[in-house]
Amino acid sequence: MNDLTATLIELIDVSSETGSEGRIATHVAAEFLPTWGRLGVDRIGNSVIVGDRSLHPTVLLVGHLDTVPSQGQGPAYLADGRVHGLGASDMKAGIAVMMHLLNDAAVRAGPYPIAGVFYDREEGPADANGLETVLERAQWLTEAEFAVVLEPTDMELQLGCVGSINAAVRFAGVAAHAARPWTGENAITKAGEWLTQMHGRLPDVVHVAGLEFKEVATVTMANGGVARNIVPAMVEFNLNYRFAPDKTLDEAETSLRAITSDADEVEIVDRAPAAPISEDSPFLQHLIGVCGGPIRPKQAWTDVARLAGRGVPAVNYGPGETLQAHQAEESVPEENLRRTFETLKRFLTTSPAPLE
């Protein structure tokens, strides 16, 4: 068993479901004290920062410590070249790589200062995300020129991310006795034509920086009706709208309201911006050259958007497998750990060429 695998198995066996990250934060912080010392390790709640705050960090390595709730997984184990256990892919494999990079002598002596952010509560509600608290209380981190978020990407370099808006879409009717429906108006069937349109709606393809993002609007929840013998006077749907990085939040909201123009009422419940692609970043171009593999758009929302909102260009690149995330039999190939570590070590120990 190699050191990266051993580290990942240790991490998996420290339970860290969202809201219960205290033990793993203590474990991670202790691993850095011998190399970084007490001044180089800071803890904000159950998040851990590793870095020299007297220097402006150039590159951040970022990852969340928490996992989704257990589905009965037992202790971590290694079988057929894969590490199995809760959080193996999402995203304790990325955390293991981060730890080894930040403790690597060559990386620490590299051409620019680095810092690591291990944060809590990513798998819970967006408004409780621990990264927001860290960036608010440790604003020196936002001076970084670039960040790598080690979410599962199958070792693909994934740029940008789609934004997300959730809206309550309501159709109003008039209540009546179900035996005499003509005396009222059925809100649920009134919504039928709109639902049919949504069912057949195709993704809108948007190209940003040469990458193909898909804008989609999906009805994800429905709530309506009072009793079996009452014509419903109201029905409410949740519409989740994912939009490309070429739109601002206000532009995306305008698009969503056009999609829901047939409704009687639309209430925006929450909204999160898309992340732009910083094509002019020499660090992005350098990482593209080092990775040498496929470049994809991030067809989901991740905390690269939160970092971009603070002025830090960020990308997604990690060893985890996206289809393994949140699975009962979650696992990750050992080889992914090694290859991701080696790629990011090359990136962190060499200087980017200036853009022409």
Q: Are 247 and 323 in a shared domain?
A: no
Helix, strand, coil % (nearest 5) of the chain?
35, 30, 40
Cα–Cα dist 228/214, whole Å: 39
Same domain? For 65 and 84 the reply is yes
* 27 shares its domain with 122: yes
Buried b (16+ CB within 10 A) or exposed e, 305-336: bbbbbbebbbbbbbbbbbebbebeebbbbbeb
Residues 156 and 169 in one domain: no
Q: Is residue 356 part of a domain?
A: no
Q: 237-288 pLDDT, tens per residue?
A: 999 999 999 999 999 999 999 999 999 999 999 999 999 999 999 999 999 9
Answer yes or no: do 53 and 39 share one domain: yes
Q: Are residues 262 and 287 in the same domain?
A: no
* Residue 156 domain flag: yes
Residues 123 and 148 in one domain: yes
Active site residue 66: yes
With pLDDT > 70 as the criterion, what percentage of the chain qualifies? 99
354 within some domain: no
Q: Which of 272, 307, 335 is the last residue of a domain?
A: 272
Domain boundary among 208, 241, 272: 272
Q: What is the pLDDT of residue 342?
A: 98
CA atoms of 29 and 42, how far apart (whole Å): 8
Q: Are residues 323 and 192 part of one domain?
A: no
Contact 102, 50 (CB under 8 A): yes
Q: Which domain CATH number covers 174? A: 3.30.70.360
Let me know whether 167 and 113 are in one domain: no
Token readout for 55 is 């220097």
Residue 355 domain flag: no
Q: What is the DSSP string of 80-99?
A: TTEEESTTIIIIIHHHHHHH
Domain count, the chain: 2
The answer as to whether 51 is a domain residue is yes
Whether residues 42 and 93 share a domain: the answer is: yes
Query: Whole-number mean pLDDT of the chain?
Result: 96
153 lies in some domain? yes
- What b/e readout covers 245-262, taking b as 16+ CB neighbours within 10 angstroms? bbbeeeebbebbeebbee
Under 8 Å between Cβ of 95 and 65: yes
Residue 252 phi/psi, 5-degree rounding, is: -65, -40
Domain end call among 241, 257, 272: 272
Does 126 score more than 90 pLDDT? no
Sole residue written with tokens 């120990």: 349
Alpha-carbon distance of 45 to 134, in angstroms, equals 9
Residues 242 and 314 in one domain: no
- Of the CA atoms within 13 Å of residue 275, those in its CB half-sphere come to 28
Please tell me the predicted confidence (pLDDT) of residue 1: 59
Is pLDDT above 70 for 354? Answer: no
Q: How far apart are CA 271 and CA 263, in angstroms?
A: 19
pLDDT tens figures, 175-232: 999 999 999 999 999 999 999 999 999 999 999 999 999 999 999 999 999 999 999 9
| pLDDT the model gives residue 352 | 85
Encode pLDDT of 147-170 as tens digits.
999 999 999 999 999 999 999 999
Cα separation of 66 and 205, whole Å?
Answer: 33
- Using pLDDT thresholds of 50, 70 and 90, give the confidence band for residue 294: confident
In a domain, 294, yes or no: yes
The more confidently predicted of residues 1 and 84 is 84
pLDDT value for 75: 97
336 closest CA partner among 65, 104, 152: 152
Whole-angstrom Cα distance, residue 35 to residue 103? 7
Over residues 16-63, the pLDDT tens digits come to 999 999 999 999 999 999 999 999 999 999 999 999 989 889 999 999
Pick the catalytic residue: 21, 66, 123, 145?
66
Entry pTM: 0.90
Integer Cα distance of 322 and 192 in angstroms: 35
353 within domain boundaries? no
At 100, is the pLDDT very low, low, confident or very high (cuts 50, 70, 90)?
very high
The CATH number linked to 60 is 3.40.630.10
| DSSP code at position 100 | H
| Per annotation, catalytic residue among 21, 31, 120, 122 | 122
Strand partners of residue 110: none
Task: Say if residue 304 is in the same domain as residue 231.
Answer: no
Q: 90 an active-site residue?
A: no
Q: Residue 286's domain spans which residues?
A: 3-160+275-348
